[in-house]
Structure 1
């Protein structure tokens, strides 16, 4: 309980630091320039070609900003991201959010297993994924776009939520959704979403 309280306070302070900074319009061009450091992992134009690295193109602006704040605050952990986000100021975060949200999202590959996708579609309906991620799974505000995301990354993310390894953002909601999923359901759900 204490760990959750500390996480909440740290996240709240990190988000407050952005909220209390005088608002300026985000600069997409500056975001594109800053995103040069992201290409090696997240791919050209924000479309990842690297296993277990998410595509960022088309992610909602607020979602990108929140995740960067969570990484910077240390509430979301990743050994590769930590040294990068420590260098970002609030304007950088705003600009990166604006830039990545302006990019065309990845289109899912041709579905090579429609039966698995159907099982995934049923799992998505049963877990009410659309209630947060929208009917098209394009995400909104601080909720991730999951349509067309890398399949193995979705599997990893769901397993991380299920085991409480991943924190930040909708952790409680995602843990509630992921915990009862079987490995087969996770595989099917990831396949379905990745091929949208």
Structure 2
């Protein structure tokens, strides 16, 4: 696991140096991003709000977060069979435009909470794990850190399991593995429920 964390950190630094060394040809174009996002709708939903189990909503995600995840998928650092053929078609300008587009969309709203007791346990777990220190007090994310408020509940469970098992790599792997590894199944379920209903 330690080697995987070190490799993830080295990969992230290498990708960062490539991105920083590449001059921006022009400012990101959200309208062009919307056109390019037509290929994302089938899975991630109209206006970036997913209706499919285990597929995340992208609406309202921070611009840099979207860009980094696409770069990680394209580089193969983050793996997903459905995403791979799509990201292979994207150039850097497409990635910047998609980041601008998805970040401009209204994020999903949490559904009516059907289990306030579970949410309270999740709230306590979030405070105990200091989730707000990276994801912000409203869990809306910032810069390269994901928005988790209002995200699909089962997707949050999946993401926490992937971090806990070191299945997910690319960006924040070390920090999230440290947070997720000690979580019990009950804490994962409570956290996901709480965040999804914000």
- What residue number does 2:152 align with? 150
Q: Which moved more, 1:7-16 or 1:167-176?
A: 7-16
Query: Any idea what the Cα deviations from partners look like across 1:18-73, whole Å, max 9, x if unmatched?
Result: 32222221000000000000000000000000000000000000000000011111
Work out whether 1:188 is the aligned partner of 2:190.
yes
Maintained 8 Å contact 1:11/1:73: no
Report what 1:55 is aligned to: 57
Instruction: Write the distance in 2 (CA, Å) between the matches of 1:83 and 1:89.
Output: 13
* Alignment map for 1:173-184 (pairs within 5 Å): 173-184=175-186
Q: Contact 2:5–2:173 at 8 Å: present in 1 too?
A: no
2:113 aligned with 1:111: yes
| Per-residue deviation, 1:15 | 3.0
Judge which range, 18-27 or 61-70, deviates more. 18-27
Distance 1:5 1:182 in 2: 25
2:95 corresponds to = 93
- The aligned runs of 1:19-168 (5 Å cut-off) are 19-23=20-24, 24-168=26-170
Alpha-carbon separation, structure 2, partners of 1:166 and 1:61: 20
- List gaps (5 residues or longer) in structure 1: none
In 2, the alpha carbon distance for the partners of 1:7 and 1:181 equals 21
Contact 2:43/2:55 (8 A) holds in 1? yes
The alignment of Structure 1 onto Structure 2 pairs a total of residues equal to 196
Consecutive unaligned residues in structure 2, runs of 5 or more: none
Using structure 1 for the length normalisation, give the TM-score. Answer: 0.96
Return the TM-score normalized by structure 2: 0.95
Shifted more, 133-142 versus 1-10: the winner is 1-10
C-alpha distance in structure 2 between counterparts of 1:51 and 1:5, whole Å: 31
